[in-house]
Amino acid sequence: MAFNDELLAWYSQNARDLPWRKTKDPYKIWLSEVILQQTRVEQGTPYYHRFTTEFPTLKKLSEATEEHVLLLWQGLGYYSRGRNLLAAAKQMMERHKNFPKSYNDIRSLKGIGDYTAAAISSFAFNEPHAVVDGNVYRFYSRLFGISTPIDSTAGKKEFKILADSLLDQQNPGMFNQAVMEMGALICKPKPVCNECPFALQCVARKENAVNSYPVKSKTTKVRERYFYYLLFNTDDALYIKKREGKDIWQGLYEFPLIETEKSIQPAKLYQIPEWQSMVAESDFKVSYLSKPYIHKLSHQVLHARFIHLEKTGQKKSKPGKEWKSVSVKTLRDYGMPQLIVKYLSDEEML
């Protein structure tokens, strides 16, 4: 049996029942693809239902505020995906009044790369564009024994040529789904080789080197950061501010923050200029210091502690002009990083 026929036969018997596979609506397919970038299916599915309920059409999403989108996105991480989702929706309505049908128009949208454009155009419109994502890299590199690093220019070109040559031209949408599903269910980081229909053909398995594929040339340095959040408690209200700039969590709300280059003891923290300007001259004093919280991002590890401060007098004071006071009861109405949500949940403040 030819490779394509065998792959499609396997897919027809083993494909997961996923909501975005039951539609040809490019808007909903796009939503699923954006949500599932860097997100497991089990985690992403509730978000897909949440977004399609809140914004059933592209037009509805294009009319949303960034704050609303980020609030719904809360917990998914990689918040630039949420911001790009809204920006692309606005672009589509301005340029096309609807979801564009051509690969090039889809590819030109904010936050959409080669893979996402190929996925949408093939799934929604059955256009012959091969997808190459992490699942595809893993499956093809093992099956054919390709040792060219997938994070190199040469590797990306080689895998793209291979994927294009294998693509089923008559049924590209289903073929793309099938090859991705093979990587997701069988050819996983820890593969289930005894269930793979291509086990006898797999070069990596013959070499007893399955764990050596795919090959990567670069190692990403992990950055360690130390966050100290200040919770100024005034009559069951706390100060918050929206994060700006190009750093993580742009557009989300947080408490007053002091960041240091390394972990420091509270006694030394209370002596640094940021603490002096925000706390020392106010009528607040420390009432509680949380245990350390560790929050891992793709290339960063955050070490956080939460410091509660209580008012000791009547003088009105706050950490800065840009901070606003909100009731503890309304904190859930503000999109916040999952690190802060986790802490507030632990403290039963949400």
Instruction: Please state, in angstroms and rounded to a whole number, the distance separating the CA atoms of residues 246 and 130.
Output: 33
Rg, Å, the chain Cα set: 24
Instruction: Please state, in angstroms and rounded to a whole number, the distance separating the CA atoms of residues 26 and 163.
Output: 22
Instruction: Please state, in angstroms and rounded to a whole number, the distance separating the CA atoms of residues 47 and 50.
Output: 5
- Which member of 33, 66, 158, 181 is catalytic? 33
Q: Is the peptide bond before 149 cis (omega within 30 degrees of 0)?
A: no
H or E element: which one contains 81?
A: helix 80-95
Instruction: Give the count of beta carbons closer than 10 Å to the beta carbon of residue 209.
Output: 13
In whole angstroms, how far apart are CA 323 and each of 247, 310, 350? 18, 17, 20
Q: Contact, 241 vs 334, CB < 8 A?
A: no
Active-site residue, 54 included: no
> Could you give the residue numbers annotated as active site?
33
